[in-house]
Chains A and B, each alone.
Chain A
Amino acid sequence: MNKPTFRIRTKEENKLIMDTMEADFGSNVLVAFKEYDFWIKEGKVKEVFTVPKESSDLITKISILEPYSAGIPIGSILSNSFHLEIEGAYMISNYTSKKITVKTVQFLYGKPIFKENITKYEEDFDKNDQIIVIGENKLFYGVGRAEISSRELSSLEENTIVIKGSRKKPLDVGWYLRGGS
């Protein structure tokens, strides 16, 4: 019998996902996933879905048929690392202060965020930290990795990239127009 391509996470995968999110965004974010199970879709990368318990139980029961997707895709596992993507970041955005607010929509086109685009950051961040990006009117824009630490911000020149954009990865909600459907 073939190994299922859509299956519930292993204990190790569950730990990897939870530990990564806790390390990147703080322990409060784990609350966002309390009522859900993680499911994995095997492929070139392992796609991670968060599925409400009720749906999760039903999918388990009808194991003869494999879902194409279920619940919300929140990220992927590649080379034993968990990578948070758009909807996972959306789910945790109200539970973390690892956030910056920007005054440009350029990030939604896969473009970088420059020093002068940032209007606020809620908590200090270090180089390589994952940060939720919020736009005007508190709209969720996505998630990105810091190229510099917040302590360096005041001493840097304009046009310094703080967060790189990505046209190819599902990290900002603009991805829904670029390639998400």
Chain B
Amino acid sequence: MSLQKEYDVFELGSKLGYLPYMIDRFIEMLGECETKELIKFNETTLPQSIRLNSLRNSFENSERLLKKKGIQLEKNTEFPESRTITKSPHPIGATPEYLNGFYILQGKNSIYPPRILDPQEGELIGDFAAAPGGKTSHLAQLMNNKGIIIGLEISANRCRSLKSNLSRMGVENTAVFKMDARNAKDFNLQFDKILLDAPCSGSGIIINDPTRKKSKSLKDILHYHDYQVSLLTTALNVLKTNGELVYCTCSLEPEENELVISDILKKVDVKLSEIEVKGKPGITKFLDMDLEKNLTKTRRLYPHETNGEGFFIAKLVKNYE
């Protein structure tokens, strides 16, 4: 379908296969003009990006080997481990260098949550929805495999892929538990930091999964909201005083993002922390709701603005004593 013709935004949404409620909500968040930009952008393909893995090889050596194969890379100015593939004569997920764990295919924006959490060597880190392991292995890399990561994953199949990815990437400091993160108190541990990349409806990654245009209802989104609030409440319970937690989703729905944080701010003694990420500040007005002003400290990464997957990111600091 040609996107050159100037369609009305609802007509365009319908032609591109979106459920009407989604377009309504995008307009509420972005306005008509930007909604068009977003849904048009979702019809394109994101450039492939990789994260170089210093647990297996130096960035320089990995880059040299990939260049030797004719794979062209572009550096990310923000993070030394991130590269965009600008040209590759080989499938990037099947080279011997990939199989040696020198890099992992990782969306450009999913670099942010581990970087914002900023785990340190020697800390006890919780990764409460760990599979498939892109962010877990990034945490281990930032910790130089020192300290401990407890990775939780509820699905047995996803545990299998998590274990495989962590092995390939040379991650030593992680123990994986097949369990519902809502039972994390059973560990009787207090974590220094926690990453909660919560299960979500995925409306930020329609560019990678067009089935999402039709696959989730508003009821599904509300269901995710309850689950996310429950996960986040548990996570904060097992976080040390003054400990830090990064909450993120690849959803653009306020119910899965700002409204989750808003619920938490009302019932748990935590504060939102500023994060240095380009992107739009979190929403403080949605439909008939007025939300806390400090939700502007959270960040929304829209695909059309960042040339990457859609993300919502918030950083919370526990403040009990």
A69 engages B145 (CB within 8 Å) = no
Q: Mark A26-69, 1 if CB is under 8 A from B, else 0.
A: 00000000001000000000000011101100110010111111
Q: Mark B149-169, 1 if CB is under 8 A from A, else 0.
A: 000010000011101111110
Name the prevailing secondary structure of the B interface residues: mixed
Chain B CB within 8 A of A72 CB: yes
Question: What's the least CB distance linking B16 to chain A, in Å?
Answer: 32
B186 engages A52 (CB within 8 Å) = no
Chain A CB within 8 A of B235 CB: no
Chain A residue, CB-CB nearest to B157: A181
Q: Complex: how many Å from CA A67 to CA B171?
A: 15
A70 engages B167 (CB within 8 Å) = no
Q: Which of B96, B146, B187 contacts A173 (CB 8 A)?
A: B96
Chain B CB within 8 A of A139 CB: yes
Residues in B whose Cβ lies below 8 Å from that of A140: 100
Name the prevailing secondary structure of the A interface residues: mixed
Q: When A108-B96, A135-B96 are in contact, do A54 and B168 touch as well, CB less than 8 Å?
A: no
- Residues from 153 to 181 in A contacting B, C-beta threshold 8 Å: 173-174, 176-177, 180-181
Q: Which of B68, B172, B176 contacts A68 (CB 8 A)?
A: B176
| Residue with the highest number of chain B CB atoms closer than 10 Å, among A55, A87, A173 | A55
Question: What's the least CB distance linking A141 to chain B, in Å?
Answer: 7
Residues in B whose Cβ lies below 8 Å from that of A67: 175-177
Q: Apart from A55-B148, A73-B167, A140-B100, what are 14 other A-B pairs with CB-CB below 8 Å? A: A36-B172, A62-B187, A62-B188, A62-B189, A64-B186, A65-B177, A67-B175, A68-B153, A87-B167, A105-B96, A108-B99, A139-B97, A173-B96, A181-B161
A176 engages B99 (CB within 8 Å) = yes
Interface of B toward A, CB cutoff 8 Å: 65, 68, 94, 96-97, 99-100, 124, 132, 145-148, 153, 159-161, 163-168, 170-179, 186-189
Chain B residue, CB-CB nearest to A141: B96
Chain A residue, CB-CB nearest to B102: A139
Question: How many pairs, one residue from A and one from B, have CB atoms within 8 Å of each other in the complex?
Answer: 93
Chain B residue, CB-CB nearest to A64: B186
Chain B CB within 8 A of A2 CB: no
Question: What's the least CB distance linking A74 to chain B, in Å?
Answer: 9
Residues in A whose Cβ lies below 8 Å from that of B170: 72, 87, 90
A68 engages B163 (CB within 8 Å) = yes
Interface of A toward B, CB cutoff 8 Å: 36, 50-52, 54-55, 58-59, 62, 64-73, 86-87, 90, 105, 108, 135-137, 139-141, 173-174, 176-177, 180-181
Residues in B whose Cβ lies below 8 Å from that of A55: 148, 172-175
| Residue with the highest number of chain B CB atoms closer than 10 Å, among A58, A90, A140, A181 | A181
B165 engages A69 (CB within 8 Å) = no
Residues in B whose Cβ lies below 8 Å from that of A36: 172
A68 engages B167 (CB within 8 Å) = no
Q: Can you give 28 contacting A-B residue pairs, CB < 8 Å?
A: A52-B172, A54-B146, A55-B172, A55-B173, A55-B174, A58-B124, A58-B175, A62-B188, A66-B177, A68-B153, A68-B159, A68-B163, A68-B178, A69-B163, A70-B174, A70-B176, A71-B174, A72-B167, A86-B167, A90-B100, A108-B96, A136-B96, A137-B65, A137-B68, A140-B100, A174-B99, A181-B161, A181-B164
B97 engages A173 (CB within 8 Å) = no
Residues in B whose Cβ lies below 8 Å from that of A181: 132, 160-161, 164-165
Q: When A55-B148, A55-B173, A70-B174 are in contact, do A173 and B65 touch as well, CB less than 8 Å?
A: no
Q: Complex: how many Å from CA A70 to CA B145?
A: 13
Q: Which of A54, A72, A105, A136 contacts B147 (CB 8 A)?
A: A54
A180 engages B177 (CB within 8 Å) = no
Chain B residue, CB-CB nearest to A91: B170
Question: What's the least CB distance linking A134 to chain B, in Å?
Answer: 10
Chain A residue, CB-CB nearest to B188: A62
B176 engages A69 (CB within 8 Å) = yes
A176 engages B164 (CB within 8 Å) = yes
